[in-house]
Amino acid sequence: MPPARKRPRAYDPARTRTAVLTQFRHVREAVRGLDDGHLALPTRLGDRTVRQLAAHIALTVTSVSRALQREEPARAAMTLLDYPASTAASGGSVADRTRRLAEAEPDLDALYARTEDEVTGLLAAAPESRVLDLPAGAMTLTDFLVTRTVELVVHTDDLNTAVPDLEIPYDRQALAAGTRMLADTLAAKAPGGATEVRIPPYAVVQCLAGPRHTRGTPPNVVETDPLTWLRLATGRSTWPEALDAAKVSASGERADLSALLPLMR
């Protein structure tokens, strides 16, 4: 049985950098093949079109470049698990920047090419210990890249959902990092050992106050797959929807996570 996690887990800096770049390239290849009809399709993100979603994904990666070009703060003030709670406050401004970018950059492939070239060069020159000045607070580069894996994987799923037969692949390391970060966020939000949450093959955490299980089969168990977990954690799916679709199994009187979700938007 995994111990309760008291601090954010460590992520390999090189693998995390590679995961971000690889997932962005997967999206770039897919966006390159979309015509105007595809780009005008609606998404599950309110009134955002596929074109605007594609622009937002570029903005997600550009945020790394912009942070690396700012002066480095003295130290990181925000941990990785602080990040999800900070995203709601910036939602409106991010949406405005996304709309402006989609209007200003009709050639999405050119936008993606510039974005990839810029971030690749800046990351190559940045040390692992680099601290970034971000709107929500100072954070280490490696931690911020983990948050980019969440954004990239979730928005890849948004694109795959919006465009029939698109099937953009998910980089295994990006999917693993995003899954683990949000699983640890749940454990930090509702500390305890009463319920075990399993997201094979990437994460197992304990959460919720109550009697701690020490041996045998836990009395309260939640299990789901990584994509379903990411949809639940980011508000793409609700707890009842996932249960009704048999995407989540939940056993035990303390296996209802609906009051804790979503973790970020």
pLDDT over 70 (residue 213) = no
Tens digit of pLDDT for each residue in 7-48?
678 999 999 999 999 999 999 999 999 999 999 999 999 999
Tens digit of pLDDT for each residue in 70-126?
999 999 889 999 999 888 766 667 889 999 999 999 999 999 999 999 999 999 999
Pairing of strands 195-199, 203-207: antiparallel
pLDDT at 265: 79
Q: Which of 261, 117, 63, 263 is nearest to 178 (CA)?
A: 263
Burial of 88 (0-12, 13-18, 19+ CB in 10 A): exposed
10 Å Cβ neighbour count for 87? 17
Give CA 140 to chain center in angstroms.
17
Residue with tokens 């309260």: 220
Is the full-model pTM beyond 0.75? yes
Helix (H, G, I), strand (E, B) or coil at 260: helix
Give CA 18 to chain center in angstroms.
15
Confidence tier at 49 by pLDDT (50, 70, 90) = very high
pLDDT at 86: 87
Specify whether the CB–CB gap between 32 and 57 falls below 8 A. no
pLDDT at 222: 98
Query: Do the domains 13-175 and 181-260 sit in the same CATH topology, yes or no?
Result: no
**Range name among 3-7, 137-141, 232-236 with the lowest pLDDT average:** 3-7
Rounded to whole angstroms, the Cα distance separating 108 from 106 reads 6
Pick the CATH number of 181-260 from 3.40.50.300, 3.40.50.150, 3.30.1050.40, 3.40.50.10140: 3.30.1050.40
Residue scoring higher pLDDT (224 or 9): 224
Domain boundaries along the sequence of the chain: 13-175, 181-260
Phi, psi (rounded to 5 degrees) for 136: -80, -15
pLDDT at 169: 98
Q: What CATH number has the domain spanning 13-175?
A: 1.20.120.450
